[in-house]
Amino acid sequence: MAAKIKKVQPNNINMRYGDAIKKLETIVEGIENNMYDIDILTEKIEEAVELIAFCKAKLKNTEEGVEKIFALNS
């Protein structure tokens, strides 16, 4: 019998992975080019941390889904 897989729920379920990556790339580019003053920088870093957590959760869910499919088909 296949083990039950616990799903990690991303914080923002309305965002697509590709959109999150693009937003994260924009933030990183802004940081690298010194586009943000110190007040905005803090907000952007917090947003980046949330986006990274979201992307990690999406990747984990995808990996678990693929593993479950392979387990069912083997």
Look at residue 4 and tell me whether its pLDDT is greater than 50: no
Domain ranges of the chain: 17-72
Q: What is the reported pLDDT for 13?
A: 61
Look at residue 10 and tell me whether its pLDDT is greater than 60: no
Q: Work out the angle between the directed axes of helices 38-72 and 17-32 (0-180°, nearest 10).
A: 150
Which residue type occupies 13? I
| Higher per-residue confidence, 2 vs 20 | 20
The tens digit of pLDDT for each residue in 19-68 reads: 999 999 999 999 999 999 999 999 999 999 999 999 999 999 999 999 99
CB 11 within 8 A of CB 54: yes
